[in-house]
Structure 1
Amino acid sequence: MGRPLLGRLLRTVLAVWALASAVFLLSRNDANTATLLALPDFSASVMAGSGSSTDYVAAQRVVQRRLGLDLPLFYASRPHSSPTNTPRWHWNGTQNQYHRWLIRLMRGDLGTSFRTAQPVANRLYQALGFTLPLTGTAALLAVLAALALARRLAAKPWWQQPVRAVLVAVHALPLFVLALLLLLTFANPAVVAWFPAYGLDQLATTEADSWSRTQTYLLHLVLPVTALTLTTLPELTLQLDAALAQELRTDYATTARAKGLAEENVIRRHALRNALLPTITQVADLLPILVAGALVVEVVFALPGMGRLLADAAAGRDYPVLVGGVLLTGAARLLSLLLADFLYFWADPRIRWQS
């Protein structure tokens, strides 16, 4: 088991590195825009006529040097203008942007933000402090609720069809619509103002005691967690319910009933473990779904998490933050895939890892 695990881990790490490298190289092709956004006041003064273009060019070079954009992009580059018509490539050696980024990455340094000049690792750490409790709680609640609800639906109670219809209806709703409905219903003084609509980013500046701050923090998370949970719950429940229905029609389930085993015990002791295999795949795919959903709910509920950080970084051409976010998301995806492999092996011992 060790060698297949190591091989799969190595392939996934290489895939994450290739993706992050592609994002890095493509982002640096827009280096001029990033430089201009770093000099908004100076560029406006030049356009207004209060500054000279020479001073602006000098300031632009200073900014490029500070951002590390004054070096060639890669190990080899082709000059923009050549005395002959045939293109010529120039070898830059290790004095290039990609080599510096890769060396820093191996040391655990994700670089510095173009916009705030803060370390990218610190910005990601601060954002994760809000996003991890949000997405982790939503994933845990969705999985537990799906397991409990699918088991009850598989027993064919009288409310089976209405609940399935409600799940299909909720599944058809886009996340931003569901989040807005929750916001306008439960955080609206004109309807019911049970929960706050915004202000979680100001919690650190309040002077309340720790218990009051914890209560406020939990109240801010109720609606976002509910939105993400309701978005992921229907698909997990319907898939597991369909898998359980298929397993309950098999011969071993019929034999268990013939031996006098109750339907609930047939589901719990026999059918559930075999029906979990497709659900495990869905659980492993929850990460990209929740990361994309976190962007929506963090914008709707004004939460200072990873979603808003990456959205603002994309709008402001803050490419080091974007590349760091890609690496972080890829690493989390790696862990989710490895967890899915272990869960597969637990659910069905007949499965063996193949190289």
Structure 2
Amino acid sequence: MRPAARWRWNGTHNQYHQWLNGLLHGNLGRSYRTEEPVSTLLASALLVTLPLTGLAALLTIGLSVVLGLWLASRPGLRWLLTGLYALDSLPIFVVALLLLLLLANPDFLALFPTYGLGMQDDETSSIVYLLSQPAFLVLPLASLVITALTEPTLQLVSALRHEAGLPYTQTARAKGLLEKQVLRRHALRNALLPIFTLFTELVPNLLAGAVVVELIFALPGLGRLLADAAATHDYPVVLGGILVVLAARLLTLALADWLYQLADPRLRIGIQ
């Protein structure tokens, strides 16, 4: 009869502890495929992904607030709400491919470029080239915004309609304010409280969507880098990319807590 296996501590001279020690010193290792530092690869990819996801997050937040206020003040537009529910059921790759077929097709409307960043010089960084050629971002940006817009908009409409039935909004109407003024000046701030978490989750969710979008539109960003690294078993790059996504998640959760306290002073520490 074989003796039961016992756990033994073999010290810190192993691959995991060496990687962890390097991480604490800002060293994520080197790519198995290219032998380049992982931090250099991630930095180059983020120069494309951060402008894309940052602009998508800002546009989604702005459009969802405007659209939410408009729909909440017009309860008769149920067909538009139905359209938003239908849009929410579409995967991001379907939306991206539809935009390609409709707006970047020589047989239909060839309004935007379809592939990569075009003729980019080796000496020009991706971020500088993107700023000078924004047309390459239009379709990827539209894909991310369209798929991310529905959930915060519907949640905001529901929250605004709930707030519109409370006594303080009825008092505002009794003072002669129009419905859109009541919603914008009084109900919006309270309605945004349950939506803050959705807003702050946009960046990590958009980073996940960027994997699909960057593959479809051949953008040299973080999503494409991680997909290629996973396909070639380039584990240091995969681990580094996952750490970037986790860091973005933690930062956005901290931002949500700060926004809650900013919008509602009663939530601040020490205030009962």
Does TM, scored on the shorter chain, surpass 0.5?
A: yes
RMSD: 2.2
- Aligned-pair identity (%): 53
- Specify whether residues 178 and 213 from structure 1 end up closer, same or farther in structure 2 by C-alpha distance, changes over 3 A only: closer
Contact persistence 1:201–1:304 (CA under 8 A): no
Q: In structure 2, give the amino acid aligned to 1:303.
A: L
- Following superposition, the deviation at residue 350 of structure 1 comes to 1.4
- Following superposition, the deviation at residue 128 of structure 1 comes to 0.4
Q: In the alignment, what sits opposite 1:183?
A: 100
Q: Deviations over 1:226-248 (max 9, x none)?
A: 01001111111111011100100
CA distance in 2, matches of 1:330, 1:201: 31
CA distance in 1, matches of 2:163, 2:257: 22
Contact persistence 1:201–1:303 (CA under 8 A): no
- Partner SS for 2:266: coil
Q: In structure 1, give the amino acid aligned to 2:223.
A: G
| 1:167 partnered with 2:84 | yes
CA distance in 2, matches of 1:117, 1:105: 17
Q: In the alignment, what sits opposite 1:291?
A: 207
- Partner SS for 2:180: helix
The higher radius of gyration belongs to 1
Contact persistence 2:163–2:191 (CA under 8 A): yes
Q: In the alignment, what sits opposite 1:197?
A: 114
CA distance in 1, matches of 2:179, 2:108: 44
| 1:260 partnered with 2:172 | no
- Following superposition, the deviation at residue 123 of structure 1 comes to 0.4
Q: In structure 1, give the amino acid aligned to 2:166.
A: T
Mapping for residues 36-51 of structure 1, pairs under 5 Å:
none
Mapping for residues 36-185 of structure 1, pairs under 5 Å:
85-156=3-74, 160-185=77-102
Contact persistence 1:203–1:213 (CA under 8 A): no
Q: In the alignment, what sits opposite 1:349?
A: 265
Contact persistence 1:115–1:318 (CA under 8 A): yes
Contact persistence 2:29–2:37 (CA under 8 A): yes
CA distance in 2, matches of 1:341, 1:211: 34
- Following superposition, the deviation at residue 298 of structure 1 comes to 0.7
- Partner SS for 2:120: helix
- Following superposition, the deviation at residue 205 of structure 1 comes to 3.6
- Specify whether residues 128 and 162 from structure 1 end up closer, same or farther in structure 2 by C-alpha distance, changes over 3 A only: same
- Following superposition, the deviation at residue 162 of structure 1 comes to 3.3
Mapping for residues 230-249 of structure 1, pairs under 5 Å:
230-249=146-165
Equivalent of 1:340 in 247, 252, 256: 256
CA distance in 1, matches of 2:215, 2:58: 22
Structure 2: stretches of 5+ with no match in the other structure: none
CA distance in 1, matches of 2:56, 2:263: 23
- Following superposition, the deviation at residue 85 of structure 1 comes to 4.1
- Partner SS for 1:193: coil
- Following superposition, the deviation at residue 332 of structure 1 comes to 1.1
- Specify whether residues 350 and 213 from structure 1 end up closer, same or farther in structure 2 by C-alpha distance, changes over 3 A only: closer
Structure 1: stretches of 5+ with no match in the other structure: 1-83
Q: Deviations over 1:88-145 (max 9, x none)?
A: 5554322211221111111111111111110000000011011111111111001000
Q: In the alignment, what sits opposite 1:300?
A: 216
Contact persistence 2:113–2:135 (CA under 8 A): yes
Q: Deviations over 1:243-288 (max 9, x none)?
A: 1001001111111111222222211121000100121010122133
CA distance in 1, matches of 2:170, 2:259: 26
